[in-house]
Amino acid sequence: MAERGKAAGSALPTASSAPPASDTLLEFPCRFPIKAMGLAERDIATLVVEILTPHTGDLAPKQVRQRPSPNGKWLSVTVEIEAESKAQLDAIYRDLTAHEAIVYAL
């Protein structure tokens, strides 16, 4: 008979068998797209570049792509960066999501 909460023949991961939370499948440095979205009435592209620059250094215009939503209300901005570490990416996403004009960061 299986224990409560366990299916017969299956084992739940233990602390020793689960991968550490800090592990990532990415190999650094690597090209990485950062995407952020906000209302099109704001200059979201400039804002995203201003937020990313302290983490990445200067960004070339060709690294920044913009795409409006079909109704024109939203703007998505994708910036292709050379990511150096998971800590760098974590800091970028923390700063993007902390800004009230950024609705989504992917």
Q: CA–CA separation, 16 vs 4, rounded Å?
A: 22
* CA–CA gap between residue 75 and residue 42 (Å, rounded): 9
Q: How far apart are CA 51 and CA 55, in angstroms?
A: 8
The pLDDT, as a whole number, for residue 20 is: 53
pLDDT in tens, the chain (106 residues): 444 444 445 454 444 444 455 568 999 999 999 999 999 999 999 999 999 999 999 999 999 999 999 999 999 999 999 999 999 999 999 999 999 999 999 9
DSSP assignment, residue 90?
H
**Whole-model pTM above 0.85?**
no
pLDDT of residue 86: 96
